[in-house]
Amino acid sequence: MTLSYRPGDSLAHRLDPRTKLAFQVAFAVAAFAHTNPRGLLALSLVPLGALRASGVSVRKSLREYRFVFPFLMAGPVVAAVTLGPPWVRVDAGVETAMASYRVVLVLLVSAAYLRTTPVRDSRAAIQHLVPGKVGRLLGTGVGFVFRFLPVLQADLRRIREASAARLGDERGLVARMRLVGIAGLSRALSRADRFALGLRARCFAWNPTLPRLSFSRGDLPVLAASLALLGWAFV
């Protein structure tokens, strides 16, 4: 996961996470409301600006999301092909292609968020939005998932390498899945136990001190832009 928070001093780094979340949502709504060539052309400028304001290169973010492209490209093809004459309906394909393109735009905007927002700020924003113990569980849990995702990915990679070194990759599909599943699961469970012990030792509490979130003057234009996008979406 190379697309994670990097400390920095860019414009987007200084914004409040709630502002950035609001902007993301507003942009997604606008992209869904204006899925036509002109709307998409105008909206294409937004991710470019957002990525520029957060110091991320477009190419790098696209590479990070490469696993969604097969789905996005299969969509237009399947939509265009019909059983029976005229066999290929270009207009349906074009429509779905535009829908695929808007997904890419939304993903690019969220790449800008990811790069510029520390996980604990996301956590604080979630706890602001969802009150009570549920919000606290979700907020802390998301932080834990972010923390452990790369660790478990490395675990699974090591398991598969070890299995391949012992010719495990010549076994049947179910046997291989079982092997990776059992080893991965038992590592995850033992990590969970140690992690729970560590949390208790460090007084894991319902009311920890979170980073102070505050709106600054820089948030105003972005909030205004979010409102404008929302307004445009509903016109």
Partner 1 sequence: MSTDTASVELVGEETVENVARAALFAALTGAFAYVSFPNPLSPAPVSLQVLGVFLAGILLGPVWGGLSMGLYLLTGAVGAPVFSGGSAGGAVVHGGLRIRNPAERSLVRLVGAMVVGTGVIYAFGVVGMSLVLDMTLEEAFFAGAVAFIPAEAFKIAAAVGIVRSDQIAAQ
Query: Rule CB under 8 A: which of 31-60 touch partner 1?
Result: 35
- Nearer of residues 150 and 231 to partner 1, judged by Cβ: 150
User: Taking CB under 8 A as the rule, does residue 88 contact partner 1?
Assistant: no
The answer to the question of residue 64 lying near partner 1 (CB under 8 A) is: yes
Task: For residue 1, state whether it binds partner 1 (rule: CB under 8 A).
Answer: yes
Residue 173 interacting with partner 1 (CB under 8 A): yes
| CB closer to partner 1 out of 193 and 220 | 193
Region of 6-14, 48-56, 149-157, 218-226 interacting with partner 1 (CB under 8 A) = 149-157
Q: Which of 30, 108, 146, 219 binds partner 1 (CB under 8 A)?
A: 146
Contacts 24+ apart (CB under 8 A), 160-164: none
Question: What residues are paired with 88 via a beta bridge?
Answer: 81
Contact call for residue 126 and partner 1 (CB under 8 A): yes
30 near partner 1 (CB under 8 A) = no
Non-local CB neighbours of 118 within 8 Å, separated by 6+ positions: 5, 211
182 binds partner 1, rule: CB under 8 A: yes
* Binding range to partner 1, per CB under 8 A, among 41-49, 50-58, 71-79, 224-232: 71-79
The tokens for 74 are: 């299969």
Nearest-5° Cα angle at 169, 165 to 170: 115
- Encode 54-77: b = buried (16+ Cβ within 10 Å), e = exposed: bbbeeeebeebbeeeeeebeebbe
Given the rule CB under 8 A, which of 42-50, 52-60, 119-127, 222-230 is the region that contacts partner 1? Answer: 119-127
Contact (Cβ atoms closer than 8 angstroms) between residue 77 and residue 92: no
- The residue with tokens 């509490």 is 205
